[in-house]
Amino acid sequence: MKMVENGIISTMGLNIKNSEVEQLAAEVAKLMGTTKTEAIRRVLYEKSIELGVPQRKTDHSAFHAFLEDLWQKYPSIKGKKFTKQDYDAIYE
C-alpha cells in the first residue's frame, strides 16, 4: 500500500493477523510456486479485473528514452551488468 505523507510516497507493509488467511496464502503460494506476497498480489489483481477496478497503465517510455540517451552518451555501458563496486564508485 502506498501512502503519501508530506509529499513523500512510502509503502506500508500488510500485517495478516488471521491464521486462516495466512495458511491459505501459504498454500496458494506453494501451488503457484511463488511467495505469499506475490500470490496475494496476483489473486488480488485478478479479482480487481473481475470487479471492474480501473487498471493503472504504466508508461515506461520516459525511462526507455532516458536509457537510450544514456547509451548514446556512454555506449560502453549498454548491456553491462553493474557490480556493487560500480555503484559504490558512483556514490563516492
pLDDT of residue 76 exceeding 90, the answer is no
The amino acid present at 48, given as its one-letter code, is: S
C-alpha cell at 72: 548514446
Which residues touch 35 (CB under 8 Å, ≥6 apart)?
29
Which residues touch 16 (CB under 8 Å, ≥6 apart)?
22, 25
Q: What is the pLDDT of residue 8?
A: 56
Q: Are the CB atoms for 87 and 77 separated by under 8 Å?
A: no
Residues 33-57: tens digit of each pLDDT:
999 989 999 999 999 999 998 887 7
